[in-house]
Each structure stands twice: as C-alpha cells, then as structure tokens.
Amino acid sequence: MAAPVNIIVGSHVWVEDPTLAWIDGEVFKISGEDVHVQTTNGKTAVANISKVFPKDTEAPPGGVDDMTKLSYLHEPGVLHNLAMRYELNEIYTYTGNILIAINPFQRLPHLYDTHMMEQYKGAGFGELSPHVFAVADVAYRAMINEGKSNSILVSGESGAGKTETTKMLMRYLAYLGGRSGVEGRTVEQQVLESNPVLEAFGNAKTVRNNNSSRFGKFVELQFDKNGRISGAAVRTYLLERSRVCQISNPERNYHCFYLLCAAPPEVREKFKLGDPKSFHYLNQSSCYALDGVDDAQEYLATIRAMDVVGISEEEQEGIFSVVAAILHLGNIDFSKGAEVDSSVIKDEKSRFHLNTTAELLQCDVKSLENALIKRVMVTPEEIITRALDPVAAVGSRDALAKTIYSRLFDWLVDKINISIGQDPNSKQLIGVLDIYGFESFKFNSFEQFCINFTNEKLQQHFNQHVFKMEQEEYTKEEINWSYIEFVDNQDVLDLIEKKPGGIIALLDEAWSTHETFAQKLFQTFKNNKRFIKPKLSRTSFTISHYAGEVTYLADLFLDKNKDYVVAEHQDLLTASKCSFVASLFPPPAEESSKSSKFSSIGSRFKLQLQSLMETLNSTEPHYIRCVKPNNVLKPAIFENANIIQQLRCGGVLEAIRISCAGYPTRRTFYEFIHRFGVLAPEILEGNHDDKVACQMILDKMGLKGYQIGKTKVFLRAGQMAELDARRAEVLGNAARTIQRLIRTYIARKEFMALRKSAIMLQSHWRGLLACKLYEQLRREAAALKIQKNFRRHIARESYLTVRLAAITLQTGLRAMTARNEFRFKKQTKAAIIVQAALRCHLAYSYYKSLQKAALTTQCGWRGRVARRELRKLKMAARETGALKEAKDKLEKRVEELTWRLQLEKRLRTDLEEEKAQELAKLQDALHAMQVQVEEANAKVKKEQEAARKAIEEAPPVIKETPIIVQDTEKVNSLAAEVESLKASLLSERKAAEEARNACTDAEARSAELQKKLEDSERKVDQLQESMQRLEEKLANSESEIQVLRQQALAISPTGKSLTTRQRTMIIPRTPENGNVTNGETKVSPDTTLAISNVREPESEEKPQKSLNEKQQENQDILIKCISENLGFSGSKPIAACVIYKCLLQWRSFEVERTTIFDRIIQTIASSIEIQDNNDVLAYWLSNSSTLLLLLQRTLKANGAGSLTPQRRRATSASLFGRVSQGLRASPQSGGLSFLNGRGLSRLDDLRQVEAKYPALLFKQQLTAFLEKIYGTIRDNLKKEISPLLGLCIQAPRTSRASLVKGRSQANAAAQQALIAHWQSIVKSLNRYLDIMKANHVPPFLVRKVFTQIFSFINVQLFNSLLLRRECCSFSNGEYVKAGLAELEQWCYAATEEYAGPAWEELKHIRQAVGFLVIHQKPKKTLNEITKELCPVLSIQQLYRISTMYWDDKYGTHSVSSDVIANMRVMMTEDSNNAVSSSFLLDDDSSIPFTVEDISKSLQKVDISDVDPPSIIRENSGFGFLLPRSD
C-alpha cells in the first residue's frame, strides 16, 4: 500500500490507534512529515504522513459487498467496510472472488434455508449478495461446464466458524447434486451425518473456541457425468495426539471422554467410569462442561450418528471400551522400585485402574504392567530386558494412550469412508478443505510449527491464485501488466521443507538433546532473513511468517516428531482377545518388522501436505476466509485489532498487497464519469465516447501511470486520492459560489421584507383616514333614507287598510256562491258512482254463477269418464303382453285427471277469494252510501236552520226575493233525492242478502267438491302404488327373461336374434323418448320401433346388432368427435355438453362397470400432451371445468341418507310418480310448465343421479386433469416472464447523455427503453388473457391464474431486491415503480372480472419500492414506517432494505441510526420468541381452488340449446342431442 500523497488540511484520513487499530479523523495541521489529526472520539493524534491513509467520505453507509469496489483499497478501508457490514448482520463480503465470512455467534437460519438455496442456484457470481452458497454454486457450475474438479479452501483460526461454513457448503452441494438414496440414505446425508462422529473424537474446547477442530479435514464429494453426487471420502491430517495426555487450563480434552462420563448409569457402571474430575487426563484443566451443552444428550446424539454412519453395536462397544481404557490408563501412577532406575505400580488405586484397563482392552494384566515399566532390547548376542524409572514409565504410559487414540481415530475415518462409499468411476470432484488456521500463542510447539507450515503452503497457493486472477482481469481488459511484481513466500517454505538443510530435514536427524538441535538450527540459518534467534533463550527460534513472527519452543520438538509404536505395546494389543482392539493393531509386515521402528511425524506430515497440494493444484480453487470478530464469543462485538491480525493470518491483506502492486482502484467508465465528471464539465457537454471522455479527464488532471481497459479505468495507488482532492477542490469552489449567492439572496430578501412592511404601514394609515370620511358620508345618506322610508310606510298603511276591507266583503259573497255550487256537484257524482257499482255487481254475480256451474258440470263428467277409463285400464293391465301400452295410456289419463283436479281445486280457491272480495266491496259501498246519506241529511238540516234564522232575522218590510224561492226548490229536490236513495239502499240490502245466501250455497257445494277431490287424490295414490307394484313385477319378469335368454344362448344357435329381440323391449324412461305437449304424447321413432317389436315379435326377419355393439359404436363416434376442437356454442363448450348429455342418456353414471370414462380421460390426456400449446390447454380447461360443474350438480353418492322415504320412492318411480311428486311440491309452477309442454324435460334434466364407483372415479380424474391443465398454463406463463423479471428488478444504467441537462429527448428515449421489459411482461399477460377469453375459460379460473402470476412476480422481484444491494437504490426504486404502474394499468384494462385481486398480490414489492423512493427517510420514525409506509413488511425485511439502501441520485441517507437500533432490538426479540427470521418470500405453487369453489363461482349451464356437431347430428343414435322445438 503506497503512502498517500494528497493529504491536505481538511482531508478525512485514517490513523493508527493502539486500541481500535485504526480511527478516522480530520487533518487540521501538517508539519513537515507529521500530520495532526482531530479524531472522531475527540482526541488529537500525530502520525507520520506515510502512516496516514485517506478515507472515502462518499462510501455507502452500509459498506460495499465487494472490497475491490472500494475507492481506497487499504487496511483501514477494508476493516471499516467489514465493521459496517457486520453491524448490519452482513457477515459475508467479497474481495474479488474470495469470500470473507465473519462469525456472527448467533443463529441466522434465514440465511441458510432451502429458499435461499433456490435463489443462489444458477445465479452469477456477484449478482446476489455475498454468500457461502455463491462460492459453492460457482464451484459446481465450473465443474459441470468445464469438466474440471474444483476445491473450496476454508481457513481461519479456532472459533472463526470453519466447521459450520464447511457444513453449509456441503449442504448446498448436496442440494445441487443430491440424488435419492437407494437404501434410504444418500451419499451427501452420510457425509453430513459423519460430522458428529468426527467432532466427538476430533474436536475439543480451546481458549478461543468451544468446538475447535484439532485435525485437518478434506472432504471429497465425487460426482458422476450427470453432476449427481456418486461418492465421497474424508481425508484427515495431523490429529493433535498430545492433547490426549496434556491439556492446559481452561481447555478441555476431546469431547468423547466427557460424553462417555455423562453416559447413562448402566454404561458408566459397565466401563467403571465416574466424575471427569477423577481422571488424570481430564482434571489437568478446571473446565469440565460447556455452556449450553448437555454432554448426556450429546452422548445419545453421538450414538445415533454412529448408527447412521453404519457402526454396529459391537463396534460401538469396542470404541467406548478403548476410550474408557485410555481414561483408566491415565490414572496408573508409578513409584520407584527396589532396583535402581526401576518402577512399580504405585498403590492399590493404580492397581485397580491397571486391572480395569486390561479388562477393557481384554489383554493380560501382567503383560500390560510389563509393557509399561519394562523395555526389551534386542542385540546380536542376546535379548535384554531393561526396567524403566517412574518418569520413563509415565512417558511409556502416555505414548500408549496417544497411540491407541490415534489408531482409534484413523479407524473411525476409514469406517466412515467405507460406509459412505467411493465412486471409482468418478472423474470430477469438489473438495472442501476445513483446516486449522495460522496460530501464534505465547508458547508455540511442534503442533503450531506444523500448522503454520501448512498455512504457509496454502498461502503460497492462495497468492498464486490471487495473482492469476489479477492477470486474468488485466488480460480481459487488455492492459499491460508485465512489470507488476509477484509477492511470494517461497523463502519461508525453503526454510522449513528444503531438502537437505530445511528444519524438517534437520529434525529427522539423530539428536541427543533439544539444545543440540537448536544450536544446529542457529548455525544453519544464521544468515536467513526469515529465521531469527531470540536473545534470551537457548532453545527457542523465531520464523518470520507471512502473518508475522512466531517464536517456537524446541524443547519437545524431538519427542513430538517421533512416531513409533513400542514393540511391547504392539505385541500386547495385537494379542488382545477383543477383536476390535486387535484390529487397531494388526501385526506388522515382515519387512517392516525388520526395518527401523522410528518414523518422523514431520516427514509424514510433509508427504501428506504434498499430496494435498497436488490435489489442490489439480483443481480450480475457491477461497473462504473465516474471521472471529471477538474472543468472548458473543454477537455484535467487533474487535478491530483482533480482526486485523486474522486478516493478516488469512492472507487477505496479502491479497490486497498483490492488488496494490498493480492497479488497486478500478472503476467502470460510467462510475468514473459520474464521480469525476465535475472536473471537466466541458467534456461532458461534448459528444464524446465514454472511454474517450475518461481519457480526456485523466489527461486534463495530468495523471501518469494509469491504464484504460475495455470497460474500466485502472488507477495506481494514490491516484484515486489525488482525483478526490481535485474533485473536493472543485466542489469546494462550487460550494463557496453557492454560499455567496445564497447570502446575497438572504440579504435582498430581508430588504424586500422591510420595504414591503413600510408600504403596508402607510397604506393602513391612509385607509384609516378614508374609513372615517366614508363613515360620516354614510351616516348622512342613512338619515335621508330613513326619512323617505318612514313617509312611504305611513302612506302605504292607510291604503292597505281600505283595500283589505273591500277584498274581505267580496271574498265572503263569492265563497257562499261557490260552496253552494260545489255541494250540488258532489251529491250528483256520489249518486252516479253508487249506481255504477250496483250494476257492475249484478252483472259479475250472474257471470260467476254461470262459470261455476259450467266448471262443476265439466269436472263431474270428466271424473266419471276417468273412472270408467280407469276400470278399463285395470282390466287391460292383467294382460302381460299389452302391459306397456296400457301403462302409457294410464299414465296419460291419470296425468290429465290429476291436472284437472288440481285446476278444479285452484278454480274453487279463486272463486272463494273472489266471492269474499265482492262481499267486502259491497259492504264497503253500502257503508259509504250510508255515510253519504247521513252527511246529506245533516247538511239539509243545517241549511234549513240557516234559512229559518235568516227569515227570522230579516226585517218584516223586506219582500221575498227569488233567491229564497230558489233555495226552497233545492231543498225539496234534495229531499226527493234522499227518498230515492233510501229506496235504493233497501234494494241493495235485499241483493246483499241474496248474495249471502248464494255464497252459503256455493260454500256447501265447494265443501262437497273438496271431499270428492280428496277421494280422487286417495284413488290416485292407490293407483300410483299399484303401478309401482306392476313395474316391480315387470322388472322381475325382465330379469327372469334375461336369465332364460342366457341359458338359451348356450344351446340355441339363434340365441343372438332372440337376445336382440328381447333387449329391444326394454325402453329407458328418459325425456328424449317422448315429450308431452297439450296433453298428447309424442313418441320418438326409436320408441315406436321398440313398441312395434313388442307387439309383433314374429315380424322380425333380419338379425339386428346387439345392444353392446351399438353402444360401442356410439362411444367410438363420441370419442372421435371430442378428439377434435368442436368450438363453442355461445360461451358454452360443445364438447363438455355433448359428453354430459351422452353419459346421462346412456345411464353411464349408474352402471357398475364401463369403459367410456377411461376413454374420455385418455382422449383429454392425449390432447394436452404438448404442454406448450396454450390454445389447446385453454380449450380443455374450459371444457373440463364445465363438465366438472355439470357432474358436481348431477352426481350424488350412493345411498343418500338425506332424502326422505317418500322422496326416494318418487325418485326411483316412473314418469307418473315424478310428475305427481312435482305437482305436490309446487302446484303452481309445475302446473304452468306442464301446460306449456316443457315441464317433463326440465324436471328430468334437474334430477340428481346416484353415481356408482366408475362415475365418482371419473369425477376425481377429471378434477386432477383440471388442476394439471391449470397448473401447466400457470407455469408456462411463469417460465415466459421469469427471464424478463430478472431484467425488470434493476434499471439499466442511463448513458452519459442523461447526466447533462437539457437532453429531454434523450431522457424520453431512455425512459422508453427502460420500461420495454415491463411492456414485454404486459404483452405476455395480454396474450394469455386473450387465449383464455377466446376459449371461454371461466373468469373464476382466469382470476386465479393471474392472482398466482402476480404473486410470483411479487416474490421474484421482492426477493431479488433484498438479495442484491445494487437494486436497493433510489433510481432503481423509481424504475420498478414505473414498471409496476404498467402492471396496474393492465389490471385496470383487464377489468375486475378477469384480473380480480391480482394487483393486491404485489403489496410487498409495492411497499418496498415506495420506501425506496420516499424522501427524508432519516426523519421517519419506526412507527411511521411499520404502521403507515410498510405495514405488510416484517421487521427483518424492513431492516434488510434500510441497511442496503443507497441513494445514487441525490446522495441522501437511509433511516436514522436510532430506527436501525430499534429494528435490531425487535429482531432479537423475535428470534427469542422463535419467530421465523427469514426475510424472503415463498412462491405458492399450489392449486388455489376446490371443486366446490368452482361449483359456487360458476353460473348454471343451460345445455338444452347446444347444437351437436355434424358428425353426430347425422347419426340416428344421437337423436336425443338434437334441440327440441316447442
């Protein structure tokens, strides 16, 4: 990282801090090479200018997902970016194609569920947010496309999450390449299930991690040519054997020891185990249990894992016997023996553990004791047995324990590999390397030396890969990179492994003590710059690794490098009676027994590492660097210094150094012009190409050493800072210009306000004076007006008084005259009304009496004729040969009689109602006349009294006037009229009395007729029952005839013709056989033929086809017909209607066995085989839904218990029974429909059929086909719009022309191009809608299709928005909002009938986009966001959008930090309450309706007017399909 050269006063920079590693601040003073910085924590720091790095003030608040996008690629920039992302729970970050994973120390299940796997499947690298799945997907796609094996290297220190990351990788690879296991378990499941076993025996608690892997693991997933997992293998490296005997506080030994001590009591008693504190190998540390881990449960889980892996119970018992034996072996202590340098078992306790160990290992106790305290030396002359002192005996004991445990672990690995099974034919594999990271402790021994040697080797491989990636980037952009130096660590590797002369080679030589070994190292490498000799130690040495200097203690190097099995130990365990223990120690080969027993762990590890590197070099590598954010293993704590050290150890900073050696800053042409276009605005105004514009800007700034590729600008280290400094200067000048203009504007605004105030004050004062003058003038004018009005008022009052008196006098006279005239007219009109009503009543009464008499006579005569006919029918019914003809006539007569009786009953009811109404009218008229007469008498009396008073009051001198004479005449005439009215009233009373008498007589006759009608109904019921019995007898006779016919067929050669003749006598009772019109029976030609066959069976001469052959022929015609597109009749599908009519006519629903249903289903299946033909699919969707609706409303299950016995009898009875039952149920509607000649067919069409099993099965199959066709149409539309949705989620970047003002035409064209993808989606929706409309698909199903499609659009857009940070921008929100407006317009155009609630399905993406485009987000509270802006979105989704949002248009910020903190608190509470924390939506691909929903939503289908196709119309066997004429 080059030193910055553009640090000036006011620059924002990073400086080193002893606590935070790096801290940001602002430069306020520069003194030579020293820079004074005011840090953000309020302190002042002074640093050399070479140790100060610029800070990108325009970096997004949520960081960048790929650190190669950082403007300043240096150590503090990388650390700050990781910190910002970790604060937002973004634990994954890219550095090129390297993934950095920071352990969150909490469960994040939403990041690893199946739905997240689906999102990353096939997605381009970098297209979605960084994720471990993306790395696995790239490896898998590279293996499939290029045919080359790949490897994924997972590294990091203990606690960084390597093991969990490896699990996630294997889960995803299993998801991509998994296959169904033949025997229940798949290969990938076995690999994943082996993890608990390896963790139990290879993991332990360390200072930094509760579940640290103490071995390296390389899992090979083998794939076949189809990309499916075909096998797997687990390779392990360098198990830390010394941990079995030596642990330090607060670490633990391997988990299996503690699990066995926590086993059930019977297991512990069996192995004679107790508290872990009682065992020497466990009580060296005070830590015995882990927080949140129940060892008893883990023991059971390990047992289950062993069962899954395939370890038998006998082998499990052997494993735990060995583990228990190691614990007991550690408790064997020694004391000095009687001889010099000898030892014996210390006490009885040690003797007990010795015996227990021998018992568990099933070996001889004395042999075990001798193997621990004695050594056998073989010389050419003799065999010497040498005793060991107590210290040597303890070393022998620990060596035996380590050897046994190491062999046990190797056996487990081999067993797992055998259980999983490897594919010898596999040519491709993906290896996942989970290996220990670089380690540097206070005291480092041989294990740390081997671990760091491994990491040096892997770092070299990593550096080569990074440099190769840089080369590929430069080559792709066609720039010169030949002078870039490659950072290599080959000198460190030579120091360690070079042969001869390397540390490992020296270690393999024979050394007496570790001091001599250390001295040899000092002499050999005294001039090596990577080897350092500490000043205060004689046995320590320091190596300068890529991650820093590490000091190793050579004290135990020689002992730990030895890997040999003591001959006594080998012989002892080989002779064990336990087959499992003996299998761990097979007898050595004869050649090896003669060779040296000593072998070097370092040499063996070097060979293993060499083999691993060869494997990695043969694969395409991918890197994941795991980082532990803190040492307390808690979430939300980010320790900068600790992470910087891990980044160094993981080689991330080394990769940055490689990038900085070339061109660390890379920007696309668009980004470069967008950021630095302000440095040369005249270039933007010109019509230049983007590449040329970038070149001109850089030339204008005078930069050297940069390069311009095909799509990007490559800047050397420091050049970005220089450009930013120039840009800051330009922006500062612009800011000062804006400030100057703003201040001018503010001053002028204040002056204008003062002047306006003065003018307003003057105008108010002048207005006040004018108001006073106006008030005076107004008062004078008011006084004059009051005087004028008062004088006018007095004059008008006098005039009105005179005028009122004259009018009152005139009014009285005119009123008296008008009342007299009105009274005369009213009386005259009342008399006329009374006369008219009376005459009307008389005429109507006479008419009703005549009508009633005629009806009574007709009913009596018809009843007599009907009874006579009934007797004749009964006589004729006894003849079996004429039974059918008599039955038809009888039904006709009974129907006629029934209708006449019903009509008579209705007429009688109407007559009674009319009589009651007439009587009420007469009584009302009589009452009204009485009231009128009384009123007339009262008026006459009043007028006489008034006349008498007027005469008495008149003066005697006044003579009689003509008026009085006239009044007297009127009175006389009125009196005469009253007399006549009284006479008419008497006559009306007489007529009413006569009407009452006639009504009484009519009621009596009506009661008699009702009694007769009841008798007739009873006779009808009896006749119906007798007809039913006759039908049953006929059915029995037909059954007997059928049996006789079958018997006759076996012996008679003419059986076929007999069968034919007999079958033609059976006539189905269906509406198509004949229609009743106006009481006459129309018999179809088929029925006539059948009747003629009944009457004259001997007249048949030609043999006829059997009924089965005829039915088969008809079925063939039907299948041939429906296999073609028959089209529609109106909006009704012809095929469905024809199928339904035929099945109903043939009674296919009521038979126990038939093939017609299967043939129809096969025809539909063959028609929809081509699933891309949406026209055919829509055609059959319409037909199947209509046919299913007809079946749903027709079929009922056998034995319906809801019907009453009477209803069941009526349903199974003949036509006569159905008609009579219908009449009882609805006499009015039934009678009218029968009289119109349509009642028979309608009743039969609406009847339900008791369906047999084939019909019910057909209905189920038709339902399944309907769902399949619906799902196929929906999925076809999904496939069509899916590629477009990927283009619709992110707006294409506008050209540079849109950056320049005044280009409205270009902006309009760009906007039109932006919504082209959305318009393509709308076109697809319109096309599918037109297809379904053309095929008359029910609107209910159309609504369901588009509702699910819009739900799919919502899920895809919303999930893509949350997974891709570049989509969560302001401008992209505007783009998506414009596209959603296109969809809304489509919904409006499609109408509610077809679109339905589809628009509401986009609620998630609509609210998310609405949040992106709102302004002033920092001012919004959490309550406003969750309750008003985005009520549908969960808190996890809001948190994701808020943290990923960035404004690329106006540079505004997301919501405030307080809102983010509150969201994080709510998310924590949700996780504690076991609420799902997934922020992604799931696509619902289920069928969103049932048969009942279709039946309720669709209208009833009238199939009576559907014309059959020509192929059927021409066939006489389908005559029932022809429409009937009224």
Residue 778 has pLDDT above 90, yes or no: yes
Token pair 């499941």 in the structure block, residue: 189
Other CB atoms within a 10 A radius of the CB of residue 236 amount to: 18
| Mean pLDDT along residues 1369-1391 | 88
Dihedral of the alpha carbons of 1336, 1342, 1346, 1349, in degrees to the nearest 10: -90
Question: What is the distance, to the nearest Å, from the Cα of residue 1256 to the centroid of all Cα atoms in its chain?
Answer: 34
CB-based contact 317:304 (threshold 8 Å): no
The torsion angles phi and psi of 243, rounded to 5 degrees, stand at -65, -25
Q: Of 1455 and 1212, which is predicted with more confidence?
A: 1455
Residue 1063 has pLDDT above 50, yes or no: no
CB-based contact 1059:1106 (threshold 8 Å): yes
In terms of Cβ atoms closer than 10 Å to its own Cβ (0-12, 13-18, 19+), residue 589 is exposed
Predicted confidence at residue 589, as pLDDT, reads 60
Residue 809 has pLDDT above 80, yes or no: yes
> Which residue intervals of 95-214 are DSSP H helices?
114-120, 132-146, 162-177, 187-202
The torsion angles phi and psi of 1127, rounded to 5 degrees, stand at 80, -155
Cα→Cα distances 1519→1117, 1132, 1182, Å: 13, 20, 25
Other CB atoms within a 10 A radius of the CB of residue 373 amount to: 22
Closest of 87, 53, 86 to residue 70, by C-alpha = 53
Residue 53 has pLDDT above 80, yes or no: yes
Residues in the chain: 1526
Angle between helices 1316-1334 and 1174-1194 (to 10 degrees): 50
Residue 1054 has pLDDT above 90, yes or no: no
Name the catalytic one among 71, 93, 209, 1454: 209
Residue 905 has pLDDT above 60, yes or no: yes
Predicted confidence at residue 1419, as pLDDT, reads 86
Annotated binding residue at 881? no
Strand partners, 100: 93, 625
Residue 775 has pLDDT above 90, yes or no: yes
DSSP assignment, residue 1473?
Answer: T
For the stretch 1157-1196, pLDDT in tens is 888 888 888 888 877 788 889 998 988 888 888 888 888 7
- Three-state DSSP state, 1289: coil
| Mean pLDDT along residues 580-604 | 67
Name the catalytic one among 75, 298, 439, 470: 439
Predicted confidence at residue 854, as pLDDT, reads 93
Q: Which of 89-98, 871-880, 1284-1293, 1380-1389 has the highest mean pLDDT?
A: 1380-1389
- Concerning whether 1326 is annotated as a catalytic residue, the answer is no
In terms of Cβ atoms closer than 10 Å to its own Cβ (0-12, 13-18, 19+), residue 791 is exposed
Name the catalytic one among 93, 212, 343, 1354: 212
Name the catalytic one among 437, 502, 677, 1239: 437
Cα→Cα distances 1394→531, 1339, 1399, 1526, Å: 80, 6, 12, 37
Residue 100 has pLDDT above 90, yes or no: yes
| Mean pLDDT along residues 925-942 | 82
For the stretch 366-399, pLDDT in tens is 999 988 888 877 666 677 778 888 888 888 898 8
272 φ/ψ sector (left φ>0, alpha ψ -120 to 50, else beta)? left
How far apart (Å, rounded) are the C-alpha atoms in residues 372 and 802? 154
| Mean pLDDT along residues 141-156 | 87
Closest of 649, 473, 644, 627 to residue 68, by C-alpha = 473
CB-based contact 1229:1236 (threshold 8 Å): no
Kindly indicate the confidence band of residue 548, based on its pLDDT and cuts at 50, 70 and 90: confident
Question: What is the distance, to the nearest Å, from the Cα of residue 1008 to the centroid of all Cα atoms in its chain?
Answer: 76
Q: Of 1092 and 876, which is predicted with more confidence?
A: 876
Cα→Cα distances 1472→106, 137, 752, 845, 1438, Å: 11, 32, 62, 92, 19
Residue 318 has pLDDT above 90, yes or no: yes
Q: Which of 187-196, 299-308, 1238-1247 has the highest mean pLDDT?
A: 299-308
Residue 1037 has pLDDT above 70, yes or no: no
Residue 501 has pLDDT above 50, yes or no: yes
Predicted confidence at residue 1241, as pLDDT, reads 38
Predicted confidence at residue 273, as pLDDT, reads 92
Predicted confidence at residue 934, as pLDDT, reads 85
Give the CA angle between residues 256, 259, 263 to the nearest 5°.
135
Q: Which two tokens stand for residue 1416?
A: 């002033």
Closest of 1334, 1191, 1349 to residue 1270, by C-alpha = 1349
How far apart (Å, rounded) are the C-alpha atoms in residues 1126 and 1180? 11
The torsion angles phi and psi of 44, rounded to 5 degrees, stand at -115, 130
User: How many Å is the maximal CA-CA distance in the chain?
Assistant: 197
For the stretch 388-439, pLDDT in tens is 888 888 888 988 998 899 999 999 999 988 888 888 888 888 988 887 777 7
Question: What is the distance, to the nearest Å, from the Cα of residue 644 to the centroid of all Cα atoms in its chain?
Answer: 41
| Mean pLDDT along residues 1280-1306 | 60
Question: What is the distance, to the nearest Å, from the Cα of residue 688 to the centroid of all Cα atoms in its chain?
Answer: 48
Residue 492 has pLDDT above 60, yes or no: yes
Strand partners, 713: 667, 708
In sequence order, what are the residues at sequence separation of 6 or more whose Cβ sits closer than 8 angstroms to the Cβ of residue 483?
none
Predicted confidence at residue 101, as pLDDT, reads 93
Predicted confidence at residue 832, as pLDDT, reads 93
Q: Which of 221-225, 746-750, 923-927, 1094-1098 has the highest mean pLDDT?
A: 746-750
What percent of the chain clears pLDDT 70, i.e. is strictly above it? 84
**Quick one: which H or E segment has residue 29?**
strand 21-31
Kindly indicate the confidence band of residue 1309, based on its pLDDT and cuts at 50, 70 and 90: low
How many contiguous H segments (helices) and E segments (strands) does the chain have? 50, 30
Cα→Cα distances 1059→118, 281, 1341, Å: 67, 99, 49
Cα→Cα distances 566→332, 401, 562, 593, 1083, Å: 18, 12, 11, 12, 112
Annotated binding residue at 159? yes
Question: What is the distance, to the nearest Å, from the Cα of residue 820 to the centroid of all Cα atoms in its chain?
Answer: 91
Closest of 243, 171, 165, 235 to residue 203, by C-alpha = 243
In terms of Cβ atoms closer than 10 Å to its own Cβ (0-12, 13-18, 19+), residue 361 is buried
Annotated binding residue at 162? yes
Kindly indicate the confidence band of residue 1207, based on its pLDDT and cuts at 50, 70 and 90: very low
Q: Of 168 and 961, which is predicted with more confidence?
A: 168
- Three-state DSSP state, 331: coil
- Concerning whether 737 is annotated as a catalytic residue, the answer is no
Q: Of 1428 and 751, which is predicted with more confidence?
A: 751
- Concerning whether 1099 is annotated as a catalytic residue, the answer is no
Angle between helices 1316-1334 and 1304-1314 (to 10 degrees): 40
Peptide bond between residue 250 and the one before it cis (omega within 30 degrees of 0): yes
For the stretch 174-195, pLDDT in tens is 888 875 444 456 666 677 778 8
Predicted confidence at residue 1044, as pLDDT, reads 52
Name the catalytic one among 11, 71, 158, 1442: 158
- Concerning whether 158 is annotated as a catalytic residue, the answer is yes
CB-based contact 1052:1058 (threshold 8 Å): yes
Question: What is the distance, to the nearest Å, from the Cα of residue 953 to the centroid of all Cα atoms in its chain?
Answer: 106
Kindly indicate the confidence band of residue 359, based on its pLDDT and cuts at 50, 70 and 90: very high
Residue 95 has pLDDT above 60, yes or no: yes
Q: Of 651 and 276, which is predicted with more confidence?
A: 276
- Concerning whether 242 is annotated as a catalytic residue, the answer is no
How far apart (Å, rounded) are the C-alpha atoms in residues 1013 and 856? 12
Kindly indicate the confidence band of residue 1224, based on its pLDDT and cuts at 50, 70 and 90: very low
| Mean pLDDT along residues 1287-1307 | 51
Q: Of 1495 and 871, which is predicted with more confidence?
A: 871
What percent of the chain clears pLDDT 90, i.e. is strictly above it? 21
Predicted confidence at residue 661, as pLDDT, reads 65
Residue 1082 has pLDDT above 50, yes or no: no
- Concerning whether 213 is annotated as a catalytic residue, the answer is yes
Closest of 490, 451, 438, 441 to residue 651, by C-alpha = 438
Predicted confidence at residue 1113, as pLDDT, reads 81
Q: Are strands 203-204 and 212-213 parallel, antiparallel or unpaired?
A: antiparallel
Closest of 1375, 1371, 1360 to residue 1452, by C-alpha = 1371
Name the catalytic one among 25, 77, 96, 159: 159
| Mean pLDDT along residues 672-695 | 82
Mean of pLDDT over the chain: 79
First to last CA, the chain: 99
In sequence order, what are the residues at sequence separation of 6 or more whose Cβ sits closer than 8 angstroms to the Cβ of residue 447?
238, 240, 242, 560
Cα→Cα distances 630→287, 290, 539, Å: 21, 18, 33
Residue 595 has pLDDT above 50, yes or no: no
Give the chain's radius of gyration (CA, Å). Answer: 54
CB-based contact 893:869 (threshold 8 Å): yes
Residue 1066 has pLDDT above 50, yes or no: no
Annotated binding residue at 431? no
Give the CA angle between residues 863, 867, 873 to the nearest 5°.
140
- Three-state DSSP state, 442: coil
Annotated binding residue at 1294? no
Predicted confidence at residue 59, as pLDDT, reads 77
CB-based contact 96:655 (threshold 8 Å): yes
Closest of 1389, 1376, 1373 to residue 1317, by C-alpha = 1376
Predicted confidence at residue 1008, as pLDDT, reads 82
In terms of Cβ atoms closer than 10 Å to its own Cβ (0-12, 13-18, 19+), residue 588 is middle
For the stretch 1408-1461, pLDDT in tens is 999 888 888 888 888 888 888 899 998 888 888 888 887 777 777 788 888 888
Predicted confidence at residue 1245, as pLDDT, reads 47
Q: Of 497 and 327, which is predicted with more confidence?
A: 327
DSSP assignment, residue 1449?
Answer: S
Annotated binding residue at 157? yes
Angle between helices 652-661 and 446-477 (to 10 degrees): 30
Q: Are strands 44-48 and 712-715 parallel, antiparallel or unpaired?
A: unpaired
Q: Of 1297 and 1447, which is predicted with more confidence?
A: 1447
Name the catalytic one among 103, 203, 213, 1016: 213
